[in-house]
Structures are given as structure tokens and as C-alpha cells.
Amino acid sequence: MPRRGAWAAAAGNERSSKLYDRAISEIRASLRLGHLVERLLERGIRTGVFQPTADNALLAKVLLSTWTEVGRWYHPGGHFSVPDLADEFAVLALRTAGAAAPISVERFAPA
């Protein structure tokens, strides 16, 4: 990956440098989130909450992709309200991670 200074010089302006910095920041945040999800999956398997269903790194990528893509198709006032969609996604994520049935979203809801 080129260094910021070289990239900005090639692009020729300060705006490009700021865009580069933002892109790098978002990539780093995405990597941190991916590692966090992997650790949560590992902990769930270790404690018996989840049954291994796939490689944890792959499963983390699948879950993150699913969560980030919702912004492409979700529209307020559609079939799902935000709370209903969050509940559905929670159940799907738990099932994908191999959580034992039955899955109750209320079990995971904040008090």
C-alpha cells in the first residue's frame, strides 16, 4: 500500500490526501470489527453457546457482509421496522453461528 504522501502527490491535491486518510481509517475499523466478531465466535464456541459451523474468519466475513449490505436495500416504512429487522438479523446471525435452538431474541435484548 503506498504511503499517504506518495499517494497524495500522485493525486495532486489535499482533498485526495483526506480521502486517502478516510479510506485507510475505514479499512482499519473494518479489520478491527472483523477481529472482534471472530473473537466473539471463538468465545461462543469455547463456552458451548455456538456449535462450529464454518471457519471463524469466513463466518465473520459472512456476518459483516450481511450487516453492511442492509443499507443497500432497507427503506423506512417498508416491510420491516428497524426493531423487527434487528430482531430478525439477530436470529439469523445466531443460527448462522450455530446457536442451539430455540433462539429467543428477548434473551439477548438489553434490560
3-state secondary structure at position 33: helix
- Mean pLDDT of all residues in the chain? 78
Total number of domains in the chain: 1
Query: Residue 58 forms beta bridges with which residues?
Result: none
User: Would you call 94 exposed, middle or buried from its count of C-beta atoms within 10 A (0-12, 13-18, 19+)?
Assistant: buried
13: domain CATH number is 1.10.357.10
pLDDT digits (tens, 9 = 90+) for 45-72: 888 888 877 888 899 888 988 888 888 8
Please name which of 8, 96, 2, 93 lies closest in space to residue 52, comparing C-alpha atoms.
96
Phi, psi of 99 (to 5 degrees): -65, 145
Domain that holds residue 82: 4-108
pLDDT band, residue 75 (cuts 50/70/90): confident
CA distance 11 to 91: 45
Spatial distance between the Cα atoms of 9 and 71, rounded to a whole number of angstroms: 34
pLDDT of residue 73: 87
Confidence of residue 90 (pLDDT cuts 50, 70, 90): confident
**Residue 98: C-alpha distances to residues 6, 14, 48, 64 (Å):** 46, 47, 10, 16
Q: Which pLDDT score is estimated for 14?
A: 67
